[in-house]
Amino acid sequence: MKIAVLPGDGIGTEIVEQAVRVLRALELAFEIEQAPVGGAAYEAHGHPLPEPTLTLAKAADAILFGAVGDWKYDKLERALRPEQAILGLRKQLGLFANLRPALCYRQLTDASSLKADLVAGLDILIIRELTGDIYFGQPRGRRVATDGHFPGAQEAFDTMRYSRPEIERIAHVAFQAARKRSRKVTSVDKANVLETSQLWRDVVTAVLALYPDVELDHMYVDNAAMQLVRAPKSFDVIVTGNLFGDILSDEAAMLTGSIGMLPSASLDVRNKGLYEPSHGSAPDIAGQGIANPLATILSAAMMLRYSLNQPEAAGRIERAVDAVLSAGLRTADIWSPNTTKVGTREMGDAVVAALRGKALTRS
Ligand code: IPM
Ligand code: MG
């Protein structure tokens, strides 16, 4: 099993280091190879996704990714900015299916900004289409307007587009995931306004015919944003396009009070995947050793389950994380009174200890 490890920028290096320690503690036959990505790769090779990094990612069975980005790269032209690395990996590796669970840990119910009873037991899976939509649609660019409200003015434009097969394959991913859960899918679109959304709705409805045991409802994205904070537990699987999924998955993550806890998977047609925490590179706290490594550690667990066919090892990591939380260990982002504040490395130590079956004690 070959794993490409791409730590990236900011807290990326710190949290990935802990996830790699956890993977090694499993004592399975992994071949782990590391390469720079994002701003770190720009510094080293002049490009956020240099050829050797892309080649390594293509050759691996799975990719563990930290985070990319730093304010200091904001002035670079778009093609050289760190974010292009993750967009490039998604596109070049065909990682069209993004799975973002929003799970509220019972030990962390009070960390949510919503009332505890609204989020206790929350378990949503957002499935975001990841290689289409306005993110990648051509044409895009800048030009001088020849029509519209201000002919002759400079304008910019992007193209929202989806093809039937692109929608079909993500719909299958959603319905199949629903079968392993409570068989309920909410498809989110803006079909009252957008052509792409109308096609989305038609295609998702057509694919449902192959899944008579699954329940489907459709919801406009504005309403979905509202329902997510009104009654989040009314959702189970949400399937949506790239742009809406970007926004709703951040919203859903925050419901759990702890974006530092949430893993994600981005899969291709054969379940090869890139695994990364749902949060970003947090340059404001980089290098301080206080970032929460659990989202990355849980991403490694997802990697074992979805791409490396090691569900038992995945379960071991997830139980270890649960044990660490039950022992009251918390990084700063999830700390509350009466719990023990620990740093990034100590949190990694605790998960490794729990994996090895050592009893955890509160210091
Ligand atoms: C995400 C991020 C990316 C996205 C950025 C970094 C390009 O926000 O993974 O959700 O918009 O997809
Ligand atoms: Mg995002």
Other beta carbons within 10 angstroms of residue 86's beta carbon come to 24
Tell me, yes or no, whether 46 and 172 share the same domain.
no
Residue 157 lies in a domain: no
Residue 363: its pLDDT value, please?
46
Tell me, yes or no, whether 238 and 285 share the same domain.
no
**Closest ligand 1 atom to 246 CA:** 10
CB 131 within 8 A of CB 91: yes
Annotation marks residue 236 as catalytic = no
Tell me, yes or no, whether 79 and 217 share the same domain.
no
Annotation marks residue 222 as catalytic = yes
Marked catalytic residue, from 123, 250, 268, 322: 250
* 248 close to ligand 1 (CB < 6 Angstrom): no
* 322 close to ligand 1 (CB < 6 Angstrom): no
Tell me, yes or no, whether 108 and 247 share the same domain.
yes
* 87 close to ligand 1 (CB < 6 Angstrom): yes
Beta bridge partners of 267: 97, 273
Tell me, yes or no, whether 170 and 299 share the same domain.
no
Residue 212 lies in a domain: yes
Residue 211 lies in a domain: yes
Residue 214: its pLDDT value, please?
98
* 83 close to ligand 1 (CB < 6 Angstrom): yes
- In terms of phi and psi (left: phi > 0; alpha: psi -120 to 50; beta: otherwise), the region of 117 is alpha
**Closest ligand 1 atom to 90 CA:** 12
Element (H, E) at 125: strand 123-129
Residue nearest to atom 10 of ligand 1 (CA): 246
Marked catalytic residue, from 190, 275, 306, 333: 190
Provide the domain count of the chain: 2
End of a domain among 223, 257, 291? 257
The type of residue at 314 is A
E strands, 181-302, are 184-189, 215-220, 237-240, 263-267, 273-277
Residue 358: its pLDDT value, please?
74
Tell me, yes or no, whether 252 and 110 share the same domain.
yes
Tell me, yes or no, whether 43 and 62 share the same domain.
yes
Tell me, yes or no, whether 228 and 362 share the same domain.
no
* 318 close to ligand 1 (CB < 6 Angstrom): no
pLDDT tens, residue by residue, 196-221: 999 999 999 999 999 999 999 999 99
Residue nearest to atom 4 of ligand 1 (CA): 246
Tell me, yes or no, whether 272 and 238 share the same domain.
no
Residue nearest to atom 7 of ligand 1 (CA): 83
Annotation marks residue 322 as catalytic = no
Distance (Å, whole) CA 148 – CA 143: 13
Annotation marks residue 135 as catalytic = yes
CB 221 within 8 A of CB 248: yes
Residue 172, domain CATH: 3.40.50
| Residue 181, domain extent | 103-127+163-257
* 246 close to ligand 1 (CB < 6 Angstrom): yes
Residue nearest to atom 6 of ligand 1 (CA): 83
Annotation marks residue 9 as catalytic = no
Residue nearest to atom 11 of ligand 1 (CA): 246
Q: Residue 246 C-alpha to ligand 1 middle, in angstroms?
A: 7
Distance (Å, whole) CA 91 – CA 88: 5
- Token digits of residue 309: 């066919």
End of a domain among 228, 257, 286? 257
Marked catalytic residue, from 135, 162, 275, 306: 135
Which residue is listed with tokens 């079968």? 179
Residue 259: its pLDDT value, please?
85
Tell me, yes or no, whether 243 and 110 share the same domain.
yes
Q: Maximum distance among all alpha carbons in the chain? A: 70
End of a domain among 224, 257, 290? 257
Residue nearest to atom 2 of ligand 1 (CA): 246
Q: Which ligand is nearest to the CA of 251?
A: 2
pTM for the full model? 0.94
Q: Which ligand is nearest to the CA of 276?
A: 1
DSSP secondary-structure letter at 360?
P
Listed as ranges, residues in the chain with pLDDT below 50 are 363
Residue 23, domain CATH: 3.40.718.10
- In terms of phi and psi (left: phi > 0; alpha: psi -120 to 50; beta: otherwise), the region of 10 is left
Q: Which ligand is nearest to the CA of 87?
A: 1
Tell me, yes or no, whether 318 and 198 share the same domain.
no
Tell me, yes or no, whether 87 and 185 share the same domain.
no
